[in-house]
Amino acid sequence: MTVAAALGHITIERIDANQNRETLGVTSGTPGSTSERAAMAAFIVKDGDGIRVAPILPYSERVIYLEGHVARPGRTAFRDGMRLNDVLRGYRDLLPEPSDRAEIVRLVPPDLHPETIEFQLPDALIGNENPTLQPFDTIRVFGRYGADAPRVTVSGEVLRPGSYPMSAGMTAGQLVRMAGGFKRDALLNDADLMSYRVVDGTQVAGVRTDIRIGDAVMKGDAAADVPLMPGDALTVHQVTGWDDIGSSITIEGEVGHPGNYGFQQGEHLSDVLRRAGGLRDTAYPEGAVLTRVEVRDLEEKSRAELIRQIETGSATARLSPSLAGGDQSASVQLVKQQEDQVLARLRSAPLSGRLVIHIGADINGWAGTPDDVEVRKGDVLRVPKRPGFVLVSGQVYNATAITFAPGKTAGWYLSRAGGATAAADRKDIFVIRANGSVVGRRSDSWAHGVLDTKLEPGDVVVVPPKIIGTSVFWRNLLSGAQIASSIAIATAVATGL
């Protein structure tokens, strides 16, 4: 037998021939004694016996466990009369910054259920608290930042903003240094410190303090520094106008000096155009396109919402009452097909981010008026050449660009494109002006109809398809989607994309 064999736990499974099974024990004396070995030597095995030698217990029965925020965690041999100081002799047995709280987990017989005995670590280390240990006790020491650790937060213009453990006596300046120091755009005159206090143990009250953080961190001025409390939040501000550094607008096309131009806060389009050398004789200011990042973001959100409304509508609910009682299957299929076509155009149309502007060749004529928009970071102004054509698109026999003829109407250009097809919605034909504005049959200023509108170079005539047998709400929804996609395409044509 090996050294791991438990001699007091040897069992024999025996078959009493042709009768039954029985389990026998070999010894009943003290393990390892002479009488036990004699009993084993005298035991006679029989044919069919199954002998099982059990192992000794897989754990030590006289041991103390040490774990947590200690230098040497693990097992320690137990001896009678052993006390806590025999295991924890001083701070040299601990890792840096232990918590004041520690505990002993004890297994209580007979069922060995665990009980926790808490103690104050500083008192135990100086001998004021030195309980007696028992076998299987686990001494658990917590770290300062692992047991309900106090933390403070720094945000804003520091290299590593975030939440940090608070050490004893920590100040706002130390917190900034722990966060890597200031970024280049940090405002050093003052920072905002929000502190929290528990009032009467029932509620939390906040107190705000201004700190001369630059003096506290960079000059080591103790008078400017402030000690922190658990939960404090420090905010380092950004220098006013820092995000405007490097702001520029791009001017392309028919100007004296195309390129990127920086600008001051409050400058307008006319100011930058003058610095760019003004408009050339070949410029077509009526077709100028100003794109802006914020407008593009709004277009994206608006288009996503329009697509969602179209996709979530019930195909049956889109039918008009006149079709509801008849054979709906064919009608629903046609509505679905038209929906797919509109969605495909809407998704594929580029986001222009176009801001409609009205400028002329004489900058002094519109400078300082509401048309002289204030420029923003990332703006792009493209001034094209005079296009010399009018574009006719949509449900026409020959969608094409037609050479501009002065004084001619939208109806004249439509006839030159072969006229509208049978699938066209003649009542909702609309015109997209070169400057991005839209003229439709509901435009108040064009009482004589869209087709009577005199066009200018770069204008686009759009003939939409009929919306098949649908409700008024669905008709308006698809009409809006068709206009949105047509405007995006017209903008792409105007900018030469």
SS (H, E, C) the chain: CCCCEEEEEEEEEEEECCCEEEEEECCCCCCCCHHHHHHHHHCCCCCCCEEEEEECCCCCCCEEEEEECECCCEEEECCCCCEHHHCCCCHHHECCCEEEEEEEEEEECCCCEEEEEEEEHHHHHCCCCCCECCCCCEEEEEECCCCCCCEEEEEECECCCEEEECCCCCEHHHHHHHCCCECCCEEEEEEEEEEEEEECCCEEEEEEEEECHHHHHHCCCCCCCCECCCCCEEEEEECCCHHHCCCEEEEEECECCCEEEECCCCCEHHHHHHHCCCECCCECHHHCEEECHHHHHHHHHHHHHHHHHHHHCCCCCCECHHHHCCCHHHHHHHHHHHHHHHHHHHHHCCCCCEECCCCCCCHHHHCCCCCCCECCCCCEEEECECCCEEEEEECECCCEEEECCCCCEHHHHHHHCCCECCCECHHHCEEECCCCCEECCCCCCCCCCHHHCECCCCCEEEECECCCCECHHHHHHHHHHHHHHHHHHHHHHHCCC
Q: Give me the pLDDT at residue 364, please.
A: 92
pLDDT of residue 250: 94
Q: What are phi and psi of 41, to 5 degrees?
A: -70, -30
pLDDT of 489 higher than 70: no
Q: Is the CA virtual torsion 172, 173, 179, 181 positive or negative? A: positive
pLDDT averaged over the chain? 84
Which of residues 192 and 437 earns the better pLDDT score?
192
Measure the CA–CA gap between 96 and 279, rounded to whole angstroms.
72
- What does the pLDDT average to over 362-368? 91
pLDDT at residue 337 tops 80:
no
Given pLDDT bands bounded at 50, 70 and 90, which one contains residue 202?
confident
Q: Say if strands 50-55 and 63-68 run parallel, antiparallel, or are unpaired.
A: unpaired
Specify whether the CB–CB gap between 331 and 323 falls below 8 A.
yes
Whether 349 shows a pLDDT value over 50: the answer reads yes
Beta-carbon contacts of 435 under 8 Å, excluding residues fewer than 6 positions away, are 286, 287, 288, 356, 357, 358
- pLDDT given for residue 495 in this prediction: 61
Is the entire prediction scored with pTM above 0.75?
A: no
Q: What is the fold, at CATH topology level, of the domain defined by 151-238? A: Outer membrane lipoprotein wza fold like (3.10.560)
207 versus 202: which is more confidently predicted? 207
Q: What would the two tokens of residue 240 be? A: 């006013």
| pLDDT for position 274 | 93
CATH class of 63-143: alpha beta
Digit-coded pLDDT (tens) for 258-286? 999 998 888 999 999 999 999 999 999 98
212 close to 190: Cβ distance less than 8 angstroms: yes
Within the chain, which residue ranges are assigned CATH 3.10.560.10? 151-238, 293-494
* Statement: residue 27 has pLDDT above 80: no
As a whole-number percent, the residues of the chain with pLDDT over 70 amount to 86
pLDDT single digits (tens) 151-165:
899 999 999 999 988
> Residue 245: what pLDDT?
84
Position 446 confidence tier, pLDDT thresholds 50, 70, 90: very low
Instruction: Tell me: pLDDT of 198 over 90.
Output: no
Give pLDDT tens digits for 183-195: 999 999 889 999 9
Residues 6+ apart with CB under 8 A from 175: 152, 154, 164, 228, 234
* Rounded alpha-carbon distances, angstroms, from residue 374 to 247, 266, 287, 351, 435: 13, 6, 19, 22, 18
Q: What is the pLDDT of residue 490?
A: 67
Q: What is the pLDDT of residue 447?
A: 45
Give the homologous superfamily in CATH for domain 293-494: Outer membrane lipoprotein wza domain like (3.10.560.10)
pLDDT-derived band at 321 (thresholds 50, 70, 90) equals low
Exposure string over 327-354, b if 16+ CB within 10 A, otherwise e: eeeebbeebeebbeebbebbeebebbbb
**Cα gap 269→292, rounded to integer Å:** 13
Work out the average pLDDT over 239-266. 89
Are 26 and 40 spatial neighbours (Cβ–Cβ below 8 Å)? yes
Residue bearing the bigger pLDDT, 90 or 311:
90
